[in-house]
């Protein structure tokens, strides 16, 4: 949901990439872990280098069924809940050890774009698995091919809370994921090079806020698609809902803004989460030890102009509104109501030292909370 100013007018008049800071060379910026994995960028019959998937030429008729079973299962030995890119992610960090184990198995399957996962782990109920599926969407903006809306756990038929299979569906094919990743990576790499001189969390967070707003147009015409409509979307519309819309098409709606910002913050070592409520979403992030809310979408205000002679509606971008950068909980609740729905905790945000207007007391920028 986008905050808009409305006027009527008569005449036509808007993983982790590891960054070596300091004076390091640009070549030291590494590609994300998922970028080079064969399981993402190749079809199953070309996965010669993957230990999980033997070369199809070596698979005999007698062991085909065994191989099929192997590739649909992730064992406990393949999971390390402490040494994982999930460590420190907002939802994952609040889970129990048994939940983290289930989370990592499902995350690995999503990373590899498996379409189903055989399940025999009774420590997580179907309800918990549904929560984990949503948490992966919230924790991993770089998995732009994944959204939990059409993913689910199947019951074993004996107990409705005991799963025996997890069905995973994706918004892009493996070939599309590879092509989009090839295009997203250099854009993100270039941005990280441009900000590697920044030292504090505040500077990095503000630079990301300004970068996304300055390079993205809010797509009002595609904002009316609901979260459950991905199967009906064309690719350009779908991109508005993930990081590819921001980094490649420079057009997005709230979820695209939020995930792109979260992605840039995570890559720079800033803890940043995804919060949902009232058909909108925004970020919660930790700067210099304190938690703040940030709404990049509302920081990119749109002027809505309706032409009375034709009825045509025009949307015009209005620059950067810093009111929604590094907000307290008190400020956030004046404009949004979180509906986290994940049995996880949102920290109370009370710090103000990294608020834009506290940092810049003499600015002439508009502050929406100045009179509240």
Which residues, 6+ apart, have CB-to-CB distance to 56 below 8 Å? 44, 45
pTM surpassing 0.85? no
Query: Which has more confidence, 21 or 329?
Result: 329
CB 238 within 8 A of CB 144: no
- What does the pLDDT read at residue 301? 80
Write the pLDDT tens digit of every residue in 144-203: 999 898 899 998 778 788 889 999 999 899 999 999 999 999 999 999 999 999 999 999
- What does the pLDDT read at residue 2? 60
CB 153 within 8 A of CB 124: no
DSSP string, 129-193: HHHHHHHHHHH-TT-TTB-GGG-EEEE-SS-TT-EEEEE--BSS-HHHHHHHHHHHHHHHHHHHH
When pLDDT is cut at 50, 70 and 90, the band that residue 237 belongs to is confident
- What does the pLDDT read at residue 229? 54
335: in domain: yes
CB 144 within 8 A of CB 113: no
CB 176 within 8 A of CB 184: no
89: in domain: no
- What does the pLDDT read at residue 126? 92
When pLDDT is cut at 50, 70 and 90, the band that residue 224 belongs to is low
Strands 251-252 and 272-277: unpaired
Query: Which has more confidence, 30 or 2?
Result: 2
158: in domain: no
DSSP string, 338-369: ----SS-PPPP----TTSHHHH-TT--S--TT
Distances (CA, A) of 169 to 56, 58, 172: 24, 29, 9
Instruction: Say which residue the tokens 């840039």 belong to.
Output: 264
User: Of the ranges 14-28, 59-73, 82-96, which one carries the lowest mean pLDDT score?
Assistant: 14-28
User: Of the ranges 125-139, 227-241, 348-362, which one carries the lowest mean pLDDT score?
Assistant: 227-241
Write the pLDDT tens digit of every residue in 299-341: 998 655 454 666 655 455 668 999 999 999 999 999 999 987 6
Distance from chain centroid for Cα 287: 19
Distance from chain centroid for Cα 244: 11
277: in domain: yes
| Cα-based angle 225, 239, 316 (whole degrees, multiple of 5) | 75
Which residues, 6+ apart, have CB-to-CB distance to 1 below 8 Å? 223, 254, 278, 279, 280
Q: What is the CATH number of the domain that holds 195?
A: 3.10.620
Which residues, 6+ apart, have CB-to-CB distance to 341 below 8 Å? 276
Is residue 348 pLDDT above 50, yes or no? Answer: yes
Q: What's the domain count of the chain?
A: 1
Q: Which residues is 304 bridged to in the sheet?
A: 6, 315
- What does the pLDDT read at residue 67? 40
60: in domain: no
336: in domain: yes
Is residue 41 pLDDT above 50, yes or no? Answer: no
How many CA atoms are closer than 13 Å to the CA of 263, on its beta-carbon side?
Answer: 29
306: in domain: yes
Of the candidates 158, 168, 101, the one whose C-alpha atom is nearest the C-alpha of residue 133 is 168
33: in domain: no
- What does the pLDDT read at residue 162? 87
**Domain range enclosing 310:** 4-17+173-359
């Amino acid at each position: 949901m986008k905050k808009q100013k409305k006027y009527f007018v008569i005449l036509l008049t808007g993983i982790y990439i590891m960054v070596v800071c300091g004076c390091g060379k640009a070549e030291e910026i590494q590609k994300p872990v998922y970028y080079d994995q064969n399981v993402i960028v190749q079809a199953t019959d070309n996965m010669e280098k993957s230990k999980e998937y033997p070369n199809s030429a070596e698979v005999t008729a007698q062991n085909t069924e065994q191989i099929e079973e192997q590739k649909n299962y992730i064992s406990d030995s393949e999971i390390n809940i402490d040494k994982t890119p999930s460590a420190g992610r907002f939802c994952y960090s609040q889970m129990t050890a048994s939940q983290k184990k289930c989370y990592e198995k499902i995350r690995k399957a999503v990373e590899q774009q498996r379409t189903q996962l055989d399940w025999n782990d009774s420590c997580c109920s179907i309800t918990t698995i549904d929560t984990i599926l949503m948490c992966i969407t919230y924790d991993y903006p770089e998995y732009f091919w994944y959204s939990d809306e059409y993913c689910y756990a199947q019951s074993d038929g004996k107990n409705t809370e005991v799963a025996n299979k997890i069905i995973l569906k994706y918004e892009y094919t493996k070939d599309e994921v590879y092509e989009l990743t090839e295009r997203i990576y250099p854009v993100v790499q270039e941005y990280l090079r441009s900000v590697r001189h920044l030292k504090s969390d505040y500077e990095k967070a503000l630079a990301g806020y300004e970068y996304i707003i300055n390079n993205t147009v809010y797509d009002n015409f595609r904002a009316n698609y609901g979260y459950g409509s991905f199967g009906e979307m064309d690719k350009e519309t779908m991109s508005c809902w993930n990081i590819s819309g921001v980094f490649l098409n420079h057009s997005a709606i709230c979820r695209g803004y939020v995930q792109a910002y979260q992605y840039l913050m995570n890559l720079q070592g800033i803890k940043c989460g995804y919060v949902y409520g009232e058909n909108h979403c925004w970020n919660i992030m930790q700067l210099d030890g304190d938690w703040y809310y940030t709404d990049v979408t509302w920081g990119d205000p749109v002027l809505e102009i309706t032409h009375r002679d034709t009825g045509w509606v025009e949307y015009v971008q209005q620059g950067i509104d810093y009111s929604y950068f590094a907000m307290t909980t008190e400020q956030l609740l004046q404009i949004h109501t979180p509906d986290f729905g994940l049995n996880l905790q949102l920290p109370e945000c009370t710090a103000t030292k990294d608020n834009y207007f506290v940092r810049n007391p003499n600015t002439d920028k508009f502050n929406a909370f100045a009179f509240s």
